[in-house]
């Protein structure tokens, strides 16, 4: 199956639908440790169509965090002549007011999800519509690491990912440390016995701990995403413009409550 990454839950993005996206499944507590910043990424997703031709989807992903702990994420897709219109999807996570706000230019609606009471902010929560979805961290290590489909495949085959330290490199003027994980080929060809990934590569900025580059490769299957990449275009450390943390003023607003749901452990976007 082919799924684009929205990068709306971080990871980051796990994914969007949209890692986050990008960025895996970072909890609210982990986000609070970072200094204010603004990042912009060029995101490419290459998939295999049913006729076996390759399709490339290119988007721009912007994320920012201010000194109040508010976090902005925006995914921007340019229009394709004769094929599709431009599209913008955004979200604001606001720990002080206990809300997660999402909007997009297609529906022209703003959804404000109200967080649970402070004493209940652990685990994963979402609205009845399925999004927004957010992780508040966990009460214990067993809660944080529940078994997953990929774990079952790994246990059955007795082969986990091979880790490689890629050392230090400078990316867009930022010094970063890289790591790569590669999964061995699955012996069982059935769809439910396949590893979710072939390999993942991530580069993290020294000092700030921010992601600056990511590359994910998936099993070669028609209709699946083949590769997914995020490449840093710009990074600014310091307080973002406060206007970035306001949704469009002319969209209809809907308020929704969140309820607790099981947490997964995938750290990269699924195909």
* Structural domains in the chain plus CATH codes: 28-261 (2.50.20.10)
Rounded to whole angstroms, the Cα distance separating 86 from 250 reads: 18
pLDDT tens digits, one per residue of 191-242? 555 567 789 999 999 888 999 999 999 887 766 778 999 999 999 999 999 9
For 266, other C-beta atoms within 10 Å of its C-beta total 18
User: How far is CA 88 from each of CA 59, 73, 114, rounded to the nearest angstrom?
Assistant: 10, 10, 23
pLDDT confidence of residue 52: 74
**pLDDT in 10s for each residue of the chain, 271 residues:** 333 333 332 333 333 333 334 333 344 445 545 689 999 999 998 887 777 778 888 999 999 999 999 999 999 998 776 667 788 999 999 999 999 999 999 999 999 999 888 888 888 888 888 877 888 876 544 444 444 444 434 444 456 789 999 999 999 999 999 999 998 876 665 555 556 778 999 999 988 899 999 999 988 776 677 899 999 999 999 999 999 999 999 999 999 999 888 886 444 344 4
Closest CA to 26 of 124, 156, 157, 169: 124
Rounded to whole angstroms, the Cα distance separating 6 from 16 reads: 3
- The strands making up 133-135's β-sheet, listed across from edge to edge, are 133-135, 124-126, 259-261
Q: What is the DSSP letter of 7?
A: -
pLDDT confidence of residue 221: 72
């Amino acid at each position: 199956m082919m799924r684009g990454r929205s990068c709306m839950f971080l990871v980051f993005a796990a994914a969007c639908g949209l890692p986050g996206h990008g960025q895996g499944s970072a909890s609210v507590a982990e986000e609070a440790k970072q200094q204010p910043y603004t990042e912009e990424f060029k995101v490419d997703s290459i998939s295999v169509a049913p006729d076996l031709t390759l399709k490339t989807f290119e988007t721009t992903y912007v994320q920012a965090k201010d000194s109040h702990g508010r976090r902005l994420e925006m995914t921007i897709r340019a229009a394709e002549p004769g094929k599709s219109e431009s599209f913008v999807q955004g979200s604001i996570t606001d720990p002080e007011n206990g809300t997660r706000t999402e909007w997009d230019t297609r529906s022209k609606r703003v959804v404000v999800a109200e967080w649970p009471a402070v004493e209940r902010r652990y685990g994963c929560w979402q609205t009845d519509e399925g999004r927004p979805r957010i992780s508040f961290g966990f009460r214990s290590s067993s809660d944080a690491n529940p078994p997953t489909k990929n774990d079952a495949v790994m246990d059955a085959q007795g082969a986990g990912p091979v880790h490689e330290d890629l050392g230090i490199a400078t990316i867009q003027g930022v010094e970063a440390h890289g790591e790569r994980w590669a999964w061995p080929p699955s012996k069982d060809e059935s769809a439910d016995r396949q590893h979710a990934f072939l390999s993942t590569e991530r580069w993290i900025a020294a000092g700030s701990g921010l992601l600056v580059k990511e590359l994910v490769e998936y099993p070669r299957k028609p209709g699946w995403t083949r590769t997914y990449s995020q490449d840093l275009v710009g990074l600014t450390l310091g307080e973002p413009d406060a206007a970035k943390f306001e949704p469009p003023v002319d969209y209809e607003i809907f308020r929704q409550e969140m309820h607790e749901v099981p947490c997964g452990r995938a750290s990269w976007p699924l195909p």
